[in-house]
Structure formats: structure tokens, C-alpha cells
């Protein structure tokens, strides 16, 4: 019975769903030995370092990942970075197929003046900071002003805005990083403004996430009822309206109409405001926007501008894949055709498609790529796999070591009444795995 050696690089949702698709394709004539390689000492990708701490239910998908890790011939090699500890060329030679599921971690830039001022951050820095990603512990975040602007009208912008707008008490029993919780406790921010450059009908927010906003207990959420009504008129004028869009606009109308609590914290969603410049003397003080309008279905700039005084700007305008040796990036993702990169190298998840789609989207997408890989497999290679590639003494976090880290975090969480207390220091994570 042939056993093919598969290397999956990246232990995020796409990596695990790729492994699962291989496991599901096994039968008495075909088996797979899967090695999952991850640069961090911890797996789960954005489920650990992206998903908002106040949305713990979504993180329970990690139980599925842990089940996959226990199925058949599966090995975890965390604390191993492709491009640094091992090369793609070597992996290709050792494995029958290599799947790059390395995600998209670089925040896109606005390319406007003032974007690099202190306290102008990308969600690609701010989110992993509050989620205890070891690379972002030292991100400089100043929450001493009363207003923050979040640029972008997608679910990441909404997560960021919510995290800034809710009370620290609402984060107390979550897995938010301890140092970030302390910063949120001292935060002076009371007004958070999300700015989308196009109309309400073009927003990338999804309806369930919008519908949750009026339920916030200590924050009043605003949307200009006129902007939503005009968007609804425009879409109706275009003909048949898709169900998703109707739900989204209805959810926005619900926000506009719901009774406000009269609390000091607010989250305001504005549309048709395209960022032109971030101003400030040594740090962010003001954001200037062009006022857009929708004419004949097109979004165009008017000659009007508006300016918002704010001490913090977070851009949540999408991500690009990080470049590493041996991989070509085009339009922010790994250059590929239907998941095939070259020779025996493939890609899945955000690295393949770009930064769109929820966790579940990566499941069907990974299965399609695995079907293609299986079609292309010939004879299994006689090779040693990753052990032949790592320098002697390289400290790998394998599944057993990861389970020790996981158990330690969960036990610390139980004591504190939280889902887990995340360890943030790279070296301490490794020593927890060793213990
Ligand atoms: C802020 C944020 C919040 C989100 N919230 C939700 C949500 O609430 N619900 C939902 O359904 N979806 C959510 N999503 C979307 C979801 O997280 C993605 O669909 C999913 O994580 C993409 O999976 P992936 O495996 O392609 O990438 P990732 O999750 O990014 O995983 C990639 C993995 O590859 C590793 N890696 C990168 N480079 C290397 C290398 N050179 N060597 C080895 N390993 C490497 C990374 O460390 C990482 O672990 C959110 C996304 C973001 C950005
Ligand atoms: N709770 C959840 O389920 C959840 C949470 C977080 C993320 N996610 C998912 O993760 C994926 C990524 O989310 P995301 O929010 O990063 O991306 P997104 O959904 O693509 O939204 C990006 C936003 O940035 C705007 N933008 C892009 N370039 C801009 C520019 N130069 N100036 C101003 N605005 C700009 C886009 O506007 P235009 O449309 O005008 O380009 C859009 O509103 C999505 O599929 C999302 O649903 C899900």
C-alpha cells in the first residue's frame, strides 16, 4: 500500500483542512503521512491570533484541528519556519507534495501622507498585539486620546472597532493578552469611528456581525439612517437585490433605528469617506477624508472633504502574503493556478486565494486542491522527510509539546475564569513545551 509523504506549511485553518482532506481520501490502497510545519511555537493560525477575544465560540473550531492532529500519520513541527529553518527546495525534494498554507500576514498600505506617523497602525499589527502573538508584544499602542478612527468597512474593521469601543470589563474573562487588557483598562478612547470609502451597499461587513452590534451592553452604535436609506434606494433602482445584501442593509437599518442607551462609549459607522491624509505633529492628530458619492452605480469623489480629530488610526483594508525565498507573490498571494504553484508544490487558504473568506471557506477550497494533488501523484519517494532537513539541536514543538503548552494555558485560564491565559514569550512557550 503506497504511503505518500505530504508537507503542509502553516498550521492555520487552511493547513488543518488540507490535512483533513488527505485523511478523508485514504483507503486501503492509498495512505498519507502528513508533516505540518509552523513557524510559531503554537498552531491554529488566525484562530489564535486573529479571531476577536470577545468571540470565543468561533475559536472552538480548534477542537476540530486537534482531532485532525490525532488522526493517522500526522506530525506537527512547530517552531520551524519555511525560508529560515528549511528551504522550499529541500522540502520539495523530500516530500511527494508540499502545500503552502502560510496565510496573508502583511497589512496593505493606504499610501497616503501621514500613514507612517506614530499611532497609525495596521490591523495586521493591532490585532496580533491584542491577541498575544509573540512577534507583536512590543507594538506601540497609545490609547490616550478620546477618538479612534478605523479605516475599512469589513469584518476586521468591525472587530478592531468593537475591541476599542467595549469596556475592559467585557474583555476581562476572555483570552485577550494580559498586557493589552491593562492598556484597555487605561484607555481614554470613548468614540470609535469606522470609515468606509464606498456606500453602505458596498460594505464588506456581514449581516450576523452587524446584527450583534446593537446588543453591545455599554456602547451605543450609530449609522446614519440617511446613508442606509439612500443605499437601499440605489440597490432597488438597480433591479433584483441579492438576499445577502438585503440582510446586510436590514441589519444596518436595525442599528440606525435601535434605541440608544445614552452611554459615554460610541461606535459610529460612516460611509463614502475615502482617506486622503493623516495629519499630526509627531503622532496622529487628524484624518482628512474626501467625501464620495454614488452616481449611476459608480463611486466618485466630490470636491468636499471632512476631517476627524483622532489620536489613533487603525487601517483594516486587507492583507498580502509575506514573500519568502522560492515563492513568487502576485497581487498579494502566492502565484498559482487552482492551487498548483509548480512541480509538486501547491497552496491553499488565504495564501492561495488572497485574504478573503471565513474559517469554513478554507475547508471546501482545501479539498479541491487535495483532489488535484492526488490526481497528480505518481510513485511515493523514498526519502527521510523533514528530519533530514533540520539542523541538529533545532528545538521542534511537536504535538506532545504543543499539548503541554495548551494544557498549561488552559489550566492558568481555569484559575482566572478565562478560556486560557496565553503565553506570549517565544522562549517561555518553548520551555513550556519542554516541561
Ligand atoms: C483579524 C481577523 C479576524 C477574523 N475573524 C474571523 C472570525 O471571527 N470568523 C471566521 O470564520 N473567520 C475569521 N477570520 C478569517 C479566518 O481567520 C481566515 O479565513 C483563516 O484564518 C485563513 O486561514 P489560513 O490557514 O489560510 O491562514 P492563517 O490562519 O493566517 O494561518 C497561516 C499559518 O501559517 C503560518 N506561517 C506563515 N508563514 C510561515 C512560514 N514561512 N513557515 C511556517 N509557517 C508559516 C502562520 O504562522 C499561521 O499559523 C478572521 C481573519 C482576521 C484577519
Ligand atoms: N466575524 C467574522 O466572521 C470575521 C471577522 C473578521 C474577518 N472575517 C473575514 O476575513 C476576511 C478579511 O476581512 P477584512 O475585513 O480584512 O477584508 P474585507 O472584507 O475585504 O474588507 C476590506 C475593506 O477595506 C476597504 N479598503 C480596501 N482598500 C482600501 C483603501 N485603500 N482605502 C479605504 N478602504 C479600503 C474595502 O473597501 P472596498 O470594498 O471599497 O475595496 C473593504 O471595505 C473577510 O472574508 C471577512 O469576512 C470574518
| Structural domains in the chain, sorted by start | 3-105+320-397 (3.40.50.720), 109-317 (3.50.50.60)
Q: Predicted confidence band at 326 (pLDDT cuts at 50, 70, 90)?
A: confident
Please tell me what DSSP assigns to residue 86.
B
> What pLDDT, on a 0 to 100 scale, did the predictor assign at position 171?
98
Whose alpha carbon is nearest atom 1 of ligand 1? 50
Residue that the C-alpha cell 439612500 belongs to: 230
Whose alpha carbon is nearest atom 13 of ligand 1? 358
CA distance 302 to 305: 8
With a 6 A CB cut-off, is 198 part of the ligand 2 pocket?
Answer: yes
**Does residue 241 surpass a pLDDT of 90?**
no
| Widest distance between CA atoms in the chain | 70
> What pLDDT, on a 0 to 100 scale, did the predictor assign at position 1?
74
State pLDDT tens for residues 247-268: 999 999 999 999 999 999 999 9
With a 6 A CB cut-off, is 155 part of the ligand 2 pocket?
Answer: yes
With a 6 A CB cut-off, is 131 part of the ligand 2 pocket?
Answer: no
State pLDDT tens for residues 14-72: 999 999 999 999 999 999 999 999 999 999 999 999 999 999 999 999 999 999 999 99
pLDDT mean over 138-167: 98
**Does residue 160 surpass a pLDDT of 90?**
yes
pLDDT mean over 319-348: 95
> What pLDDT, on a 0 to 100 scale, did the predictor assign at position 85?
96
Query: If 0-12 CB within 10 Å is exposed, 13-18 middle and 19+ buried, where does residue 132 land?
Result: buried
Q: Predicted confidence band at 387 (pLDDT cuts at 50, 70, 90)?
A: confident
9 alpha carbon to ligand 1 midpoint, in Å?
Answer: 12
- Apex CA 336: angle with CA 354 and CA 385, to 5°? 105
> What pLDDT, on a 0 to 100 scale, did the predictor assign at position 351?
98
Roughly what angle, to the nearest 10 degrees, separates helices 62-70 and 13-24?
40
Q: Predicted confidence band at 144 (pLDDT cuts at 50, 70, 90)?
A: very high
CA distance 198 to 415: 46
How far is CA 290 from each of CA 196, 230, 303, rounded to the nearest angstrom? 11, 19, 7
Consecutive H or E run containing 381: none
Which residues have C-beta atoms less than 6 Å from ligand 1?
A: 9-15, 37-40, 45-46, 50-51, 55, 58, 81-83, 101-103, 127, 156, 159, 324, 349-351, 357-359, 362
Q: For the ranges 110-124, 289-303, 382-396, 397-411, which has the lowest average pLDDT?
A: 382-396
Average pLDDT, the chain: 96
pLDDT mean over 230-242: 90
103 alpha carbon to ligand 1 midpoint, in Å?
Answer: 5
Best residue among 19, 359, 360, 394 to mutate for probing ligand 1's pocket (most ligand atoms within 8 Å of CB) is 359
**Does residue 235 surpass a pLDDT of 80?**
yes
46 alpha carbon to ligand 1 midpoint, in Å?
Answer: 4
Q: Regarding predicted confidence, which is higher, 435 or 407? A: 407
Please tell me what DSSP assigns to residue 117.
S
Percent of the chain residues topping a pLDDT of 70: 100
> What pLDDT, on a 0 to 100 scale, did the predictor assign at position 248?
97
pLDDT mean over 392-400: 95
- Long-range pairs for 355-359 at CB < 8 Å and ≥24 separation? 355/104, 355/318, 355/319, 355/320, 359/13, 359/47, 359/58, 359/61
Q: Predicted confidence band at 298 (pLDDT cuts at 50, 70, 90)?
A: very high
358 alpha carbon to ligand 1 midpoint, in Å?
Answer: 10
Instruction: Report the 10 Å Cβ neighbour count for 17.
Output: 28
Please check whether residue 305 is in contact with residue 275, taking contact to mean a CB–CB distance below 8 angstroms.
no
> What pLDDT, on a 0 to 100 scale, did the predictor assign at position 228?
97
> What pLDDT, on a 0 to 100 scale, did the predictor assign at position 239?
85
Amino acid at each position: 500500500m503506497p504511503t505518500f509523504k505530504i508537507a503542509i506549511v502553516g498550521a492555520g485553518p487552511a493547513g488543518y483542512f488540507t490535512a483533513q482532506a488527505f485523511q478523508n481520501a485514504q483507503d486501503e490502497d492509498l495512505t498519507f503521512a502528513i508533516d505540518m510545519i509552523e513557524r510559531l511555537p503554537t498552531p491554529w493560525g488566525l484562530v489564535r491570533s486573529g479571531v476577536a477575544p470577545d468571540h470565543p465560540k468561533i475559536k472552538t473550531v480548534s477542537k476540530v484541528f486537534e482531532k485532525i492532529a490525532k488522526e493517522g500519520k500526522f506530525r506537527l513541527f512547530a517552531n520551524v519556519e519555511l525560508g529560515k529553518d528549511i528551504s522550499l527546495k529541500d522540502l520539495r525534494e523530500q516530500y511527494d507534495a508540499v502545500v503552502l498554507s502560510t496565510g496573508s500576514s502583511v497589512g496593505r498600505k493606504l499610501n497616503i501622507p501621514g500613514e507612517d506617523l506614530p499611532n497609525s497602525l495596521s490591523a495586521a499589527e493591532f490585532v496580533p498585539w491584542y491577541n498575544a502573538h509573540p512577534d507583536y508584544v512590543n507594538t506601540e499602542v497609545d490609547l490616550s486620546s478620546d477618538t479612534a478612527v478605523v479605516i475599512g468597512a469589513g469584518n476586521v474593521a468591525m472587530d478592531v472597532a468593537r475591541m476599542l469601543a467595549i469596556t475592559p470589563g467585557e474583555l476581562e474573562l476572555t483570552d485577550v493578552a494580559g498586557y493589552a487588557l491593562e492598556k484597555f483598562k487605561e484607555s481614554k478612547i470613548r468614540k470609535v469611528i469606522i470609515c468606509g470609502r464606498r456606500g453602505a451597499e458596498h460594505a464588506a461587513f456581514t449581516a450576523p456581525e452587524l446584527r450583534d452590534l446593537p446588543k453591545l451592553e455599554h456602547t451605543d452604535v450609530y449609522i446614519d439612517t440617511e446613508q442606509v436609506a439612500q443605499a437601499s434606494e440605489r440597490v432597488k433602482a438597480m433591479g433584483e437585490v441579492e438576499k445577502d445584501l438585503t440582510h446586510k442593509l436590514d441589519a444596518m437599518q436595525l442599528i440606525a433605528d435601535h434605541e440608544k442607551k445614552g452611554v459615554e462609549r460610541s461606535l459610529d459607522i460612516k460611509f463614502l469617506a475615502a482617506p486622503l491624509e493623516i495629519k499630526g505633529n509627531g503622532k496622529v492628530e487628524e484624518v482628512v477624508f474626501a467625501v464620495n458619492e454614488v452616481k449611476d452605480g459608480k463611486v466618485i469623489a466630490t470636491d468636499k472633504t471632512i476631517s476627524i480629530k483622532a489620536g489613533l488610526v487603525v487601517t483594516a483594508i486587507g492583507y498580502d502574503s509575506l514573500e519568502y525565498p522560492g515563492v513568487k507573490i502576485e497581487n498579494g498571494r502566492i502565484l498559482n493556478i487552482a492551487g498548483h504553484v509548480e512541480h509538486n508544490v501547491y497552496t491553499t487558504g488565504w495564501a492561495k486565494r488572497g485574504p478573503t473568506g471565513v474559517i469554513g471557506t478554507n475547508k471546501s477550497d482545501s479539498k479541491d486542491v487535495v483532489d488535484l494533488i492526488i490526481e497528480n501523484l505518481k510513485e511515493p519517494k523514498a526519502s527521510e522527510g523533514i528530519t533530514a532537513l533540520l539542523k541538529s539541536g533545532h528545538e521542534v514543538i511537536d504535538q506532545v509539546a504543543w499539548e503541554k503548552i495548551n494544557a498549561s494555558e488552559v489550566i492558568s485560564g481555569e484559575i482566572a475564569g478565562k478560556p486560557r491565559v496565553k503565553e506570549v514569550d517565544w522562549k517561555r512557550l518553548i520551555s513550556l513545551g519542554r516541561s
